[in-house]
Structure 1
Amino acid sequence: MTNDGFILSSAPNFRDLGGHRTAQGGTVRHGLLYRSDALHTISEPDLPVYNGLGIRQLVDLRTAHERESLPDITPEGAAYTAVSVQGPTAAGGNFSEALLDRERARAMFADGAADRFMFDVYRELVTDPVALTGYRDLVERAAEGPTALVFHCSAGKDRTGWGAALLLTLLGVDRAAVVADYLASNARQENTDKWMRLLAEHSGLEWDELIPMTRVRAEYLESSFAHIDEVYGSFDGYVSDALAVSPATVAALRARMVA
């Protein structure tokens, strides 16, 4: 851990999902499951720490365009896997390209539209077929190993945020702790702010118009859970019917991740 409280200063939203208590009285084990922002940013001074975490799987949740533009630095000894959770037509898919087109950017994000855009993203993350396939893959990889595993997107807050919420909920962590873990991303967006400000300059939009896209809000995450109840009846229905994650996989995940 660095003096600034980050495991990796060059990837400020890289963090361990361990330490949470579960409803069954267990504790999520440390050092097995990490979430992160972009991993192309790892600096030379951070490499020894990054390589020393024992990571065996890196799961990249970004779109093909993001992966090709900014390829990951994979830890020594880890297998890299691309697992898309957004199709090219999804609400959040490649939104950065829209910000390069001033007319399109204004239509999509100006005058409060960025706020509506974010709620659309969070609803699609629990219903879009690409998302369902991708998050099932993430859960199965976490359950089957090898561990440790890190999963990430660009900012580590939305696609990764839902992935973390899903995994922690499956492990039996209560909603308040899941939301608290999700909101911790807000203090870790230094890298995101840099590239979002550059995009904002090209878009012609004011920074305040884009702020809803640069931070997480409890309402965003709660909208995913609410949409699950609306569409699938319950979180358990979402897991069994939409994600098609088996009870055996959930049991294996808990056996591996909870002490």
Structure 2
Amino acid sequence: MTIDDQLLANAPNFRDLGGRATSDGARVRRGMVYRSDSLAWLDESDLATLERIGLRQVMDLRADVERAKHADRLPDGVEYTTLDVNPKPAGGTRGTGEGADRHFAGDLASVLAEPELAREVLSDGGGERFMHNVNRVLVTSDAARAGYAELLTRVATGPTAAVFHCSAGKDRTGWAAALILSLLGVPWATIVSDYLVSNLRMDNIQRWIYAKSDENGIDRTLVDPILGVRRRYLQTAFAEVERVHGTVEEYVRDGLKLDPEIIDALRARLLEWP
């Protein structure tokens, strides 16, 4: 079994964060932390797989509306925590520029449900702007900082095996995975490679977005930039870290307000040496 083998039939982006080598010769332990897309569609075989790998903790990064529509299916006894990293916009959500950018990943369904709004948000390169803004907001918004701080704490000190996930498992989940791997000392090229694997696991979300687009008369080319991940989207997130805080370590200390002991515990738990 390779690092990126598909483990769950109905959550194609569920995969082990372990197996990656670090710059100083260690390796991220396998079977400890997983990343995923929605766990709402799991069948009995998928649930049996989660029991087999010893899943004990789930961290759900989705917004309230996503969870209400599609609740996770989990084995009995799994500790379940909601960590809504979606920003809470002040005022309305309509409009151009920053107003349109308030539509975050979890609110995409409401954008696609209104053809006029979708064209306003996504036309003229708006899809790429949307995704770049998503990645900046994941670094800077109060909700995201609180959610990712708790996620790192839970990964470092909570029960394992653990999984964190959103709906597609690519943006909110992608930033969490990239952050953890960066803190563990995994090289940039490997972090990007892990991030881009999501593009091979987007069949479910692609069908859903295209169906919504067709239903509402929205040109599919407008939504293509939000269907997957691109290296430059992740670069935007790390550039925002550098702009606001300087380094990832300073972002964790000053932005997420985490004690160094948490990161020490994260590294002690997840790294193994040959």
Normalised TM-score (structure 1) = 0.96
1:141-171 CA deviation, whole Å, 9 max, x = no partner? Answer: 0000211100000000000000000111111
Match of 1:222 among 235, 242, 254: 235
Match of residue 150, structure 1, among 163, 168, 174: 163
Name the CA distance, whole Å, in 2 between partners of 1:142 and 1:131.
16
Contact 2:183 2:249 in 1 (8 A): no
* Bigger mean CA offset, 228-237 vs 41-50: 41-50
- Structure 1 residues 43-54: aligned runs within 5 Å: 43-54=43-54
1:190 aligned partner: 203
Aligned counterpart, 1:243: 256
Residue type at the aligned position of 1:214: L
- AA of the residue aligned to 2:9: S
Q: Is 1:84 matched up with 2:84? A: yes
SS in 2 for 1:86: coil
The residue type equivalent to 2:200 in the other structure is: A
Counterpart secondary structure, 2:190: helix
Q: Residue 65 in 1 paired to residue 75 in 2? A: no
Match of 1:106 in 2: 119
Give me the whole-angstrom Cα distance separating, in 1, the residues matched to 2:140 and 2:103: 12
Task: Report what 1:173 is aligned to.
Answer: 186
Q: Identify which range, 197-206 or 31-40, moves more after superposition.
A: 197-206
**Residues 83-109 of structure 1, C-alpha deviations (whole Å, 9 max, x = no match):** 011124244141211110111111111
Structure 2 distance, partners of 1:231, 1:91, is 22
CA distance in structure 2 between the aligned counterparts of 1:9 and 1:208, rounded to whole angstroms: 28
List per-residue Cα deviations over 1:25-46 (Å, max 9, x = no partner): 2110000000000100112332
Show the counterpart of 1:128. Answer: 141
Within 2, Cα distance between the matches of 1:5 and 1:121? Answer: 28
Give unpaired runs (5+ residues) of structure 1. none
Separation of aligned partners in 2, 1:227 and 1:91: 19
* 1:75 corresponding residue in structure 2: 75
Quote the residue 2:16 is aligned against.
16
Moved over 4 A (4+): none
Aligned residue pair count? 258
- Inter-CA distance 135–229: structure 2 relative to 1 (3 Å threshold): same
Deviations 1:169-217 (A, max 9, x none): 1111111111100000000011111211122123421111101100100
Please state if 1:97 is matched with 2:110.
yes
Cα RMSD of the aligned pairs, angstroms, is: 1.6
Tell me the secondary structure at the aligned position of residue 125 of structure 1.
Answer: helix
Instruction: Quote how far apart the aligned CAs of 1:75 are.
Output: 2.7
1:212 aligns with 2:209: no
